Each structure stands twice: as structure tokens, then as C-alpha cells.
């Protein structure tokens, strides 16, 4: 009888450890997905700003993206893109890039 109790205790401890490890893994994975989404938004906004520099467009325009409408404006050598509450700016003359998010 004593062996059976010991085996059950060891089994419960192993299952508890596995469930804690699974919870930690899932939490870490969800944090990585959220970080990637923000990085994809940054890359898309900067890409739109660089494209506006290359196309040498002037004024304001709206571009439809999968994240919503992006407002692209160019004043002189400075291109600004507002997308999903974030703002990317690129200086076409010096190629300096900035990104601001909320």
C-alpha cells in the first residue's frame, strides 16, 4: 500500500510540474506574439514613409492597409505617416528615420 501512495504522489508532482511549465511557455509565447505585432506595425509605417520619399510625392494622401487607413504627408524633405495611432517620419534628404507609438 505504501508503494502505491508513493507512486501516486510522484505522478501528481510530475503532472503539476508539467502544467506549470506549460503555463509559463504559453505566457511567454503570447508575449512574443504581441511584440511581433508592434514590430510589424513599425516596419509597415516606415516602409510607407520610405516609399513616399522614393516616389517624390508632395502633399497629403491616404493609403489603405490591413491595419486601417494610413495618412501620408510630405512637407519639403520630411515625410510623415500616421498609422493605427503610431507615427513614422523620414527625412528624405538625410535618410533619418523616427518612429513614435502610443
Over the stretch 21-39, which tens digit does the pLDDT of each residue have?
A: 988 888 887 776 666 667 7
Q: How far apart are CA 33 and CA 17, in angstroms?
A: 25
Under the banding of pLDDT at 50, 70 and 90, the label for residue 55 is confident
Q: List the Cα angle 34/36/38 in 5-degree steps.
A: 75
Place of cell 513614422: 88
Number of separate domains in the chain: 1
User: In the predicted model, what is the mean pLDDT of residues 82-86?
Assistant: 88
CA distances from 47 to 28, 37, 42, 51, 67 (A): 29, 15, 8, 6, 14
Q: Is the dihedral of CA 98, 38, 101, 44 positive or negative?
A: positive
Which residue range is the domain that position 33 belongs to?
Answer: 2-100
- With bands split at pLDDT 50, 70 and 90, how would you rate the model's confidence at 89? very high
pLDDT tens digits, one per residue of 5-16: 888 899 999 999
What is the model's pTM?
A: 0.62
The three-class DSSP label of residue 64 is strand
Contact 83, 41 (CB under 8 A): yes
User: What value does the mean pLDDT take over residues 59-65?
Assistant: 89
Amino acid at each position: 500500500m505504501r508503494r502505491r501512495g508513493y507512486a501516486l504522489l510522484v505522478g501528481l508532482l510530475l503532472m503539476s510540474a508539467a502544467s506549470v511549465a506549460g503555463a509559463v511557455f504559453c505566457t511567454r509565447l503570447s508575449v512574443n506574439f504581441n511584440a511581433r505585432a508592434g514590430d510589424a506595425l513599425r516596419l509597415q509605417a516606415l516602409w510607407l514613409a520610405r516609399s513616399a520619399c522614393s516616389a517624390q510625392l508632395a502633399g497629403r494622401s491616404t493609403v489603405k492597409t490591413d491595419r486601417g487607413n494610413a495618412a501620408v504627408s510630405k512637407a519639403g524633405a520630411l515625410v510623415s505617416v500616421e498609422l493605427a495611432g503610431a507615427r513614422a517620419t523620414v527625412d528624405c534628404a538625410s535618410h533619418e528615420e523616427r518612429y513614435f507609438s502610443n
